[in-house]
Amino acid sequence: MKYIPNPPWVAKDMLKTMGLNSLDDLFSDIKDDLKIKEGLTLPPAMGEMELRSCMKDLALRNISTEDYPCFLGAGAYDRYIPAAVDQLLLRSEFYTAYTPYQPEISQGILQSIFEYQTMICKLTGMDVSNASMYDGGSALAEACNLACNSGKERRKIIISDTVHPEYLEILKAYSLSGRMEVVLVPGREGAADIDAMVAEIDNQTAAAIIQQPNFFGVLENGEKLEQAVHAHKGMFIMAVEPVSLALLKSPGEWGADIAVGEGQPLGCSLSLGGPYLGFFAARRDLMRKIPGRIVGQTTDLDGKRSYVLTLQAREQHIRREKAGSNICSNEALCALAASMYLAFVGEEGLKEIALRSHQLALYAGKQVEEAGLELKYQQPYFMEFAVKVSDPAAANQKLLANGIIGGYQLEDALLLAFTEKRSRAEIDHLAAVLGGKMDE
């Protein structure tokens, strides 16, 4: 395939207009020894029909969550996406646009981001939200970066190891900057050891962090941590799961300074881990320090309500080496998907989805216990729990052989997630296989 509209004779005409003879003349500024001689070694070009079968064949070599029921969670959730979301995302005025630098021609994108920011604020109970970040893990790292930049001499990040292990690894990589010192506090019985975290807090502490629900699906009680870190003028940062916020106490209600999280469950397909949506919301007084694009409401020359990228003096294209973050492209289309998702399920729908997930998780907990298995932690959980198995890899193989995509493999357990897409029958099947009541 070629997506070049000019046939060679037109290209020749254009060259002639410029007084040139060949396309090669356009590259006389590149020394010959730098030019590719033999051509690139790539597979031969394909027509659209060939490409279509090629991509279809590759797709058929995977088992998807459309094929088998999926009990994997651990930071990415198999949720139902209303059909209208994908239909509208295909409007190419949205998806073939760039960042809305020119407000007069981009009001649709700008308004959609303004609405997204508002919805994130409503969900998290925070005052301001940015226009999105790469994903939950990098959003958390950026929050820590902000905390370390904003207070003088504050570089200590106190974080529980019950936070998603990949988030912890991302934090470690970001700390190559030399500006943050990550103190990892081991959890107890699957929950953050709040007393141990509080004991670490001092006047060098930039932030203390918990995830809600945590990586193991367990609910964390952040009350004491919030009080202690604020008493030392550090920040309280929460990584939260957005759907559960329909029922669970919001970061704003917990007293968080910054709330971040993985927005994928809000209308983004699983897509093997990306593109996802990092959301980032904060208290109002941090507004001029938060990373990324922000859309603000203003008026045009005629006084008409309109929207524009604002507070740009924070950003890399203006502040350059003094910018708090380097982020430029974000995940705007995923943010748009999230606003669409929230609009289509609505306030009551989101509650229903969250409650169903909780209901199915409780039911599954009971079923696996009845099948003779034991939950790894005896803690309150919302929609995800770890169940003990002697050989998690073997248990997953057995589930797969029975047409089930199993759980996330912990050392001695499977972490299982329950969304509104799962049914009672699927859970019964899962419990029967795990309990050894099904043949391989």
The residue count for binding another protein (CB under 8 A) is 206
Long-range CB contacts (within 8 A, 24+) of 38-46: 45/1, 45/2, 46/1
Q: Which is nearer to another protein, 199 or 318 (CB)?
A: 318
CB of 282 to another protein, least distance (A): 11
Cα separation, 440 vs 436, in Å, equals 9
Choosing from 196, 311, 375, 438, the residue that interacts with another protein (CB under 8 A) is: 311
Q: Does 163 bind another protein (CB under 8 A)?
A: no
Measured distance CA(140)–CA(75) in Å, rounded: 13
Task: Find the distance separating the first CA and the last CA of the chain, reported in whole Å.
Answer: 47
Cα separation, 266 vs 268, in Å, equals 6
**Rounded least distance, CB 240 to another protein, Å:** 11
Residue 190 near residue 377 (C-beta atoms within 8 A):
yes
322 is an interface residue for another protein by CB under 8 A: yes
Q: Does 440 bind another protein (CB under 8 A)?
A: no
Check residue 41 for interaction with another protein (CB under 8 A).
yes
The residues in 401-430 that bind another protein, with binding defined as CB under 8 A, are 405, 408, 420, 423-424
Is the CB of 252 or the CB of 373 nearer to another protein? 252
| Tokens linked to 416 | 């299982």
Q: Does 75 bind another protein (CB under 8 A)?
A: yes
Which range, of 10-18, 153-161, 188-196, 225-233, touches another protein by CB under 8 A? 10-18
Q: How far is the CB of 406 from another protein (least distance, A)?
A: 8
Point out which span in 70-78, 186-194, 196-204, 228-236 binds another protein (CB under 8 A).
Answer: 70-78
- Distance, CA of 109 to CA of 103 (rounded, Å): 9
| CA angle in degrees (0–180, nearest 5) for 314-142-249 | 110
Q: Which is nearer to another protein, 294 or 373 (CB)?
A: 294
Say how far apart CA 221 and CA 223 lie, in whole Å.
6
Closest CA to 112 of 267, 272, 320, 218: 267
Nearest to 101, CA basis, from 282, 319, 318, 274: 318
Residue 343 binds to another protein (criterion: CB under 8 A)? yes
Does 9 sit near another protein (CB under 8 A)?
Answer: no
Stretch that binds another protein, among 181-189, 231-239, 330-338, 370-378 (CB under 8 A): 330-338
Q: Site residues for another protein, window 83-122 (CB under 8 A)? A: 84, 86-88, 90-109, 111-115, 117-119, 121-122
Query: For another protein, which is the closer residue by CB, 262 or 373?
Result: 262
Distance in Å, CB of 430 to another protein, minimum: 15
Told to check if 363 binds another protein by CB under 8 A, we report: yes
- Amino acid making up residue 97: A
Q: Scan residues 257-276 and list those touching another protein (CB under 8 A).
A: 262, 269-276
**How far is residue 332's CA from residue 96's CA, in Å, rounded to a whole number?**
11
- Minimum CB distance to another protein smaller for 41 or for 390: 41
Least gap, CB of 136 to another protein (angstroms): 6
Half-sphere exposure of 111 (CA within 13 A, CB side): 8
> Within 164-223, which residues bind another protein (CB under 8 A)?
164, 166-167, 169-170, 172-174, 176-179, 219, 221, 223
The helix-helix angle for 424-434 and 392-401 (nearest 10°) equals 130
Sign of CA dihedral 103, 106, 111, 114: negative
Kindly give, in sequence order, each residue whose CB lies less than 8 Å from that of residue 176, ignoring residues fewer than 6 positions away.
none
- Report, in Å, the least distance between residue 438 CB and another protein: 19
Q: How far is the CB of 200 from another protein (least distance, A)?
A: 22
Interface residue with another protein, options 184, 196, 323, 371 (CB under 8 A): 323
The sheet with strand 384-388 has its strands ordered as: 384-388, 413-417, 408-409
Cα torsion at 89, 93, 98, 104 (round to 10°)? Answer: -130
Other CB atoms within a 10 A radius of the CB of residue 435 amount to 15
Q: Are 240 and 136 in contact (CB under 8 A)?
A: no
Q: Per the structure block, which two tokens stand in for 127?
A: 């005052």
- Interface of this chain with another protein, residues 387 to 406, rule: CB under 8 A: 396-397, 400, 405
Query: Does 161 interact with another protein (rule: CB under 8 A)?
Result: no
Residue placing its CB nearer to another protein in the complex, 316 or 402: 316
